[in-house]
């Protein structure tokens, strides 16, 4: 439990609004925040935690712009209430880079011009990361299936698929 205003709390009433304590790990950091029980995880991450890589596209779980990893799986953060992330391990696109250096996956997206306007890129990267974490040697079809829930209006998907396959190969070489 975290400590807000000197009181240990699970729920907190402020001006008639009930807030619920949320404890989770975001990009490796323990977080304890009070949240509105009706707030989506997307709004919590973007507005309250200031993680601006999490984008709202459709708000209906159809476009993938808000994709994050929660407990190792790619999820649409617009479809999850923040309070449902209690105890979860969350990774956003901000958590991919280490010590200020882009991850191999991010570098391959740049190398293959797999991004243009950049709006879909964070969600696309997170779906790709979840795939590579589960399957470090995916086929073209497996890559296409993994990113099927992410819409990109700029690149035509071919450079994205190529970047993911290249990242898989490079990550495999790096792990030797």
In the predicted structure, residue 15 carries a pLDDT above the cut 70: no
What's the CA gap between 44 and 21, in Å, rounded? 12
Which SS3 state, helix, strand or coil, does residue 114 take? Answer: coil
Asked if pLDDT for residue 6 goes beyond 50, the answer is no
Q: Token match 């729920």: residue?
A: 11
What is the rounded average pLDDT for all residues in the chain? 91
Model pLDDT for residues 93-119, shown as the tens digit of each residue: 999 999 999 999 999 999 999 988 889
DSSP secondary structure letter of residue 125: H
Q: Is the pLDDT of residue 91 over 80?
A: yes
pLDDT, tens digit (0-9, with 9 covering 90-100), for 36-45: 999 999 999 9
Q: What is the value of pTM for the model shown? A: 0.89
- Choice between 3 and 125, residue whose per-residue pLDDT is larger: 125
> Which tokens go with 120?
């879909």
Phi, psi values for residue 167, rounded to 5°: -60, -40
Amino acid 9: pLDDT: 44
What structural domains does the chain harbor?
3-95 (3.10.20.30), 104-171 (1.10.150.120)
**Residue 72 CB-half CA count within 13 A:** 4
Q: What tens digit of pLDDT does each residue of 140-166 get?
A: 999 999 999 999 888 779 999 999 999
């Amino acid at each position: 439990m975290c400590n807000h205003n000197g009181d240990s709390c699970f729920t907190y009433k402020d001006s008639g609004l009930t807030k619920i304590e949320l404890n989770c790990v975001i990009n490796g950091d323990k977080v304890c925040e009070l949240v509105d029980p009706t707030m989506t995880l997307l709004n919590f991450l973007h507005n309250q935690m200031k993680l601006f890589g999490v984008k709202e596209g459709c708000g209906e779980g159809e476009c993938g712009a808000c994709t994050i990893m929660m407990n190792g799986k790619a999820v649409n953060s617009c479809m999850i209430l923040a309070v449902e992330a209690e105890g979860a391990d969350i990774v956003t696109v901000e958590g991919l880079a280490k010590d200020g250096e882009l991850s191999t996956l991010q570098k391959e997206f740049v190398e293959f011009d797999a991004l243009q306007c950049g709006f879909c890129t964070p969600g696309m990267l997170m779906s790709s990361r979840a795939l590579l974490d589960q399957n470090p040697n995916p086929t073209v079809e497996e890559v296409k299936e993994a990113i099927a829930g992410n819409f990109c209006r700029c690149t035509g998907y071919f450079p994205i698929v190529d970047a993911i396959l290249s990242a898989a190969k490079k990550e495999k070489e790096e792990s030797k």
